[in-house]
Structure 1
Amino acid sequence: MADVWLVAGLGNPGPGYAANRHNVGQMVLSELAARMGARFSRHKTPNLVAEGRVRPGGAKLVLAAPTTYMNESGRAVSPLLDYLSIPTDRLIVVHDELDIPFDTVRLKSGGGHGGHNGIRDIIKATDAAPFIRVRVGVGRPPGRQDAADFVLKDFSSVEKQSLPSLVSDAADAVESIVEDGLVAAQQRVHAPAP
């Protein structure tokens, strides 16, 4: 199944969380599904799943939106990897990142969780096997606002103006990883704007 990738978009379930910063990973999944003309349906694992191809004849993407809360993301992602027999080096996790400025996307493989509970749980559930991350910058909370409160709030009205392009950039990054490999995708995504 070398041409199959699992793309997990992290977030919390339910409409009350849908527009939160913490759910930007699931926003990116929705964009990818729309591009592929794919629809999400319930899976036997705790995920909503959609499948499609980046382009005709291209790699197959299995998009997974965990139906667990963020801090239990590993409980959703790990059994789906097993069910599909996909190795962790073919797992791409899309998630919010406080340590990256808003409207910025960064790519990496492996590493620590950086305080992100969803990533922490996936690392634990996959026995720390490295996987690729599409880190979508949501910026730091203003003033003394608690980080946990900040990520559970919706994007500001100013941020919402740029949010569609941020989500699109992150979806482009996923497609680039699958089509061109991580290093080439990093060179493209991390290059300074002209």
Structure 2
Amino acid sequence: MNHSIEKFLIVGLGNPGYLYKKTRHNLGFMILDQISKKYFFSFSKKKLGFISSFSYDDKLLFFLKPSTYMNRSGIAVKYWIIKEKIIIKNILIISDDIYLNFGNFRLKGKGGSGGHNGLKNIEKEIGTSHYARLRFGIKKNFLDKKINSYVLENWKNEEIDDLFSKLDIGIKIIFSFVTNGLHKTMNIFNCHNT
């Protein structure tokens, strides 16, 4: 293999196990599962996560679903960054966002965790908040529910169809990030997401 090939690490955040499979907080896992169906690859259980690699546009993409549980996602991210020698600008973290309206995406090159424990732990483990993150809005009317119980609820049946059409937009953003880079992708997609 050509060792100068550019590598990317695309991380979907979630919690492992059947119990969490259909929860809102597992949005990151869901989007990677959709990509794997679309491009016909599967994940293997490896150290600290489920991982798959896939060649695209002369680049090597690693897709990671950490098996460390959300609050310790950074441990898996750091391990695979070091193992595959991936530079920070080629990392994209996908997470749910309780403060964004349902179905809206926000791509940013840096920022705070917004109270998201997965992002908080990644920042702690890799020592920087300057990494690209794609957030998917899960905000609906969670009324008086506590945020923790809302994000760990299963998606409702009426949300599912809408959800999968939105995930397709997310997949376009991810592959644009790989092909066009962060800033061009932000210009293309963020302005269409109100």
Alignment partners' CA distance in 1, 2:120 and 2:98: 15
Alignment partners' CA distance in 2, 1:138 and 1:112: 18
The alignment's TM-score, normalised by the length of structure 1, stands at 0.92
* Cα 1:127/1:5, change in 2 over 3 Å: same
Alignment partners' CA distance in 1, 2:172 and 2:21: 21
2:78 equivalent to 1:51: no
In structure 2, the gaps of 5 or more residues are none
Amino acid at match of 1:186: M
Alignment partners' CA distance in 1, 2:5 and 2:129: 18
Amino acid at match of 1:48: F
Cα pair 1:92 1:133 within 8 Å, conserved? yes
Alignment partners' CA distance in 2, 1:61 and 1:173: 14
Q: Deviations over 1:118-164 (max 9, x none)?
A: 00000000011511101011015521110011000111222112011
Structure 1's consecutive aligned runs of 4 or more residues displaced over 4 angstroms after TM superposition are none
Alignment partners' CA distance in 1, 2:140 and 2:133: 19
The residue number in structure 1 matching 2:92 is 92
- Secondary structure of 1:16's counterpart equals helix
The alignment's TM-score, normalised by the length of structure 2, stands at 0.92
2:62 equivalent to 1:62: yes
The residue number in structure 2 matching 1:9 is 12
Cα pair 2:8 2:178 within 8 Å, conserved? yes
Cα pair 2:24 2:151 within 8 Å, conserved? yes
**Match 2:32 to one of 29, 46, 66:** 29
Amino acid at match of 2:163: L
Superposition deviation, residue 87 in structure 1 = 1.6
**Larger strand proportion of the pair:** 2
Amino acid at match of 2:127: D
Alignment partners' CA distance in 2, 1:5 and 1:50: 12
User: How does 1:94-173 map onto structure 2 within 5 Å?
Assistant: 94-173=94-173
- Secondary structure of 1:98's counterpart equals strand
Equivalent residue pairs, number: 190
In structure 1, the gaps of 5 or more residues are none
